[in-house]
Chains A and B, each alone.
Chain A
Amino acid sequence: MNRFAGLFTAIEQTTKTNSKLEALVQYFQEAPEEDSIWAIAILMGKTFRSGIKTRDLKVWATELAGIPAWLFEESYHVVGDLAEAIALVLPRQAGQFSASLSGTIGILQMLTTQPEEERKEVIVDCWMRMEQTERLVFNKLITGNFRMGISSQLVIRALARYTGADEAQVAHRLMGKWDPRNTSMKSLLLDKGRLAEDFRPYPFFLAYPLDAAPETLGDPAEWQVEEKYDGIRGQIIVRNGTVFVWSRGEELVTDKFPEFATLPGILPDGTVLDGEIIGRKDGNLLPFSMLQTRIGRKKLSPAILNASPLVMICYDLLEWNGADIRSQALIERRLLLMQLLATLPGGTPLLLSPVFDCGDWAEVRAIRARSREHHCEGVMLKRKDSIYERGRKRGNWWKWKVDPFTIDAVLIYAQPGHGRRANLFTDYTFAVWEGEQLVPFAKAYSGLSDKEIEELDRWIKRNTVEKFGPVRSVRPELVFELAFEDINLSARHKSGVAVRFPRILRWRKDKPAAEANHKQDLLHLIKEKNI
């Protein structure tokens, strides 16, 4: 535990990627195997259930600190991180904690079957023998919300350096389901057998947002132009008569999509498709909001399945007849994909993503401009000779989204953020005018620079009208230009509209609140969109 807390500190005490990498490699070299495997699982964001309730942790810590519950809550609001707030309010350390990382996890797992009294006793005993960072790490293990300021990519790089294996290979091995309780470092990283595990997806290749004019990409003939679909990026795997569906978030979501259950009889074994899962009815794509209502359901009733039937619009083929073909050129993979899809019986929920032949960039621009008409959000530009890389890389794949909707809105509420933004007012609620009233319609957290956040934070503290717990209402004076990807009528929202991915484009210091947009303008956007 001490070593892992040390890794946490080492990573936190540097802003340089290389130092973080070195700290990780050193950890893997020095830590016992059974600790390393857990460290990988934790760093890659795998959670495990400790069975201990957050509420209980709060109560125990508050009791131990000798403070009333309201005071703990206020402290927690300021710290912005429960694990940290608990670590800080506890009395000073009295003793030493000697369990290893895996030993600590063992203790926590053992507790899941214990009565509450026993749990409390063990947790309190652990706390009191730990120093500050150990407590923080320990609490994060319990609450299962571990973010350490390093990306999965960095863990992969560290493991590649540690094992001497190729990064791509390590990335592939770390994907999908594996359980640190019954996996050894050797079987995870080195054994031949593991690669044959059927469910294992390939790391997704993600496009970078185009941040320059498309002309900078050179000859449009070298680029494959497709529409950018507004669905769920997914991988469909058929191996040994079984289908697996993975989402981009590395979640196995096969159960959510019964439409694909029949694929093993249709696709040859050893096929992996990359594409967009999207609603489609009567030959038309459905908006993302339809898919979203379906995704949230635990049980899929026939009515829901019927209301938003799904297909995958396939745009890449990663495995063909059991062979990994990611290093072939896109144009060759596409040819195989076309051949494969052409042989499928009618009604198969797999469609080929159409490609546009564009003689010049003006044509691409026109396709992008029209894309919203059928619920797409711009175009994808993929270099025809590109291999299938992994992660988000600049150069060969670009996404060129349509310009977002924008509206000028008034800041009316603010709330402190979490983590890096703890104790700063960074979560904002915006409103538009409806007659003389301001109606809240969107929350936004991103888009301001650190400097602007601090300036706004000071303004909020000086211009607070009322406090409701952590939320403050402020004088309705400041105007911000908000951008969002989509807008729809909504019965669930007070304003009657729901916007998607709202964020701040800029602080309109030039505009008084009276000149912000009206609700009518939002309704107008919806109307225009649906023409």
Chain B
Amino acid sequence: MLVFNKKGIYCSQADIYIDPWQPVAKAIITHAHADHARSGCLHYLCHRDTAPLLKMRLGEAISVTSLSFNEPVYINGVKISLHPAGHIIGSAQVRLEYKGEVWGVSGDYKLQDDGLSGAFEPLRCHSFVTESTFGLPVYKFPAQEEVYGDMNKWCADNVSQGMNSVLIGYALGKAQRILQHISGDRGPVYCHGAVDNVNKVLTGQGIRLRESTRVLSDMTRKDIQRAVIIAPPSAMGSSWLNRFSPYRIALCSGWMQLRGARRRRSVDRGFVLSDHCDWLQLDEAITATGAEKVYVTHGYQHTMARWLREERGIAAEAVETLYGAASEDVGDDILSNDQNSSHE
């Protein structure tokens, strides 16, 4: 029912693409990160929480139809529905059914419920298209509560030493998770403009976020002390940070699981906080679909596919896509996503 062509994942029966990387007539968008939501399509279909983010990103003029989770639409006989993927707010898996054959397309996903994105819903399908960003057994993420605990302790230590705490994460998704979990007694919370823009769109949709202050260009180190600052990766190494001095800086990402990645970024701390599945979650989720055929995209697709073939007896193959950054890449993923999100 689905094929991978040079424009993206295509369903010819419904004449519609999923997350195409070239302009097409009709596109289903799994979530609003830039590598999945590209401009130039005539018509978009996405979850209702994704629609405003898509407009923020691609322009108010785009044509968008939005759906709720589990609300099917029929296109030329194909039953299409969206299901929570747990990746970021509005992120969805796409389920397509035609004449009894079911396909699932994961987009990006995670099994941990972050309280903002909706809890991942396991789908049963015949064929499953999965991401594999952290598809290696060295990626086993700690429970998020543990990470939030460490993060708050780190911020508290910084406050006690008269320092600001700069926490770096994607403007869309990670930044809001951080915002929601920084405890109130860690001093005032400030957000970079790119983060604040996303926050405004989300609160406009009725999503409740903790209060924070936008960092304005005339603010100096006199205005911001013993505070927590949430900023996108593009802020790292920029002079924008100077106004927070003295500060400590931490990067929040699944990539921080590896020491090499932590050390290379020259940050004071790395918090392993991810919006993707780790190795165990990928294995669990893929097996739970019951799919006979699995297509593994962006990440460690070759490794994951071989594992599924040889150890799980699933017909799996790796597929090259333009999602994520170049595969096997530490940290770029963060930067490439961010460069898009910080332009808003």
Q: Could you tell me if A75 and B136 are in contact, using CB atoms closer than 8 angstroms?
A: yes
Is B206 located at the chain interface by the 8 A CB criterion?
no
Main secondary structure of the interface of A (DSSP, over half): helix
B interface, how many residues as a size bin?
20 to 34
B residues within 8 A CB of A13?
Answer: 268-269
Q: Complex formed: what's the CA distance from A68 to B325 in Å? A: 27
Is A49 located at the chain interface by the 8 A CB criterion?
no
Is B183 located at the chain interface by the 8 A CB criterion?
no
Q: Complex formed: what's the CA distance from A89 to B257 in Å? A: 12
Segment at the A interface, from B9-17, B52-60, B94-102, B259-267:
B259-267
B residues within 8 A CB of A70?
Answer: 306
Question: Among residues 249 to 263 in chain B, which have CB atoms less than 8 Å away from a CB atom of chain A?
Answer: 257-263
Is A65 located at the chain interface by the 8 A CB criterion?
yes
A50-94, CB under 8 A of B: which get 1 and which 0? 000000000000000101101110110011110011001100100
Q: Could you tell me if B268 and A71 are in contact, using CB atoms closer than 8 angstroms?
A: no
Q: Could you tell me if B138 and A89 are in contact, using CB atoms closer than 8 angstroms?
A: yes
Q: How many residues of A contact B (CB 8 A)?
A: 35
Q: Complex formed: what's the CA distance from A421 to B330 in Å? A: 11
Is A104 located at the chain interface by the 8 A CB criterion?
no
Is B311 located at the chain interface by the 8 A CB criterion?
yes
Closest to B325 in A: A458
Q: Could you tell me if B326 and A458 are in contact, using CB atoms closer than 8 angstroms?
A: yes
Is A197 located at the chain interface by the 8 A CB criterion?
no
Q: Complex formed: what's the CA distance from A479 to B329 in Å? A: 23
A residues within 8 A CB of B330?
Answer: 423-424
Is B284 located at the chain interface by the 8 A CB criterion?
no
Q: Could you tell me if A461 and B326 are in contact, using CB atoms closer than 8 angstroms?
A: yes
Question: Among residues 307 to 337 in chain A, which have CB atoms less than 8 Å away from a CB atom of chain B?
Answer: none
Question: Among residues 293 to 330 in chain B, which have CB atoms less than 8 Å away from a CB atom of chain A?
Answer: 300, 303, 306-307, 310-311, 325-330
B residues within 8 A CB of A15?
Answer: 266, 268
Q: Shortest distance in angstroms between A373's beta carbon and chain B's nearest beta carbon?
A: 43
B residues within 8 A CB of A450?
Answer: 264
**In the complex with contacts A75-B136, A88-B138, A88-B257, A458-B332 CB distance below 8 A:** yes
Closest to A423 in B: B330
Q: Could you tell me if A79 and B260 are in contact, using CB atoms closer than 8 angstroms?
A: yes
**In the complex with contacts A71-B307, A461-B326, A65-B260 CB distance below 8 A:** no
Closest to B330 in A: A423
A residues within 8 A CB of B204?
Answer: none
**In the complex with contacts A71-B137, A74-B303, A75-B136, A424-B264 CB distance below 8 A:** yes
Question: Can you list 10 A-B contacts with CB-CB less than 8 angstroms, sorted by A residue number?
Answer: A13-B268, A15-B268, A65-B137, A75-B137, A419-B260, A420-B264, A422-B261, A423-B260, A424-B330, A461-B328
Residue ranges of A at the interface with B (Cβ–Cβ < 8 Å) = 12-15, 65, 67-68, 70-72, 74-75, 78-81, 84-85, 88-89, 92, 136, 149, 419-424, 450, 454, 457-458, 461-462
Known: A68-B311, A75-B136, A458-B329. 14 other contacts (CB 8 A): A12-B262, A13-B268, A71-B136, A71-B137, A79-B260, A80-B260, A81-B260, A88-B137, A88-B140, A136-B259, A421-B260, A423-B258, A458-B325, A458-B326
Q: 5 closest Cβ contacts across the A-B interface? A: A422-B260, A88-B138, A461-B326, A420-B263, A75-B138
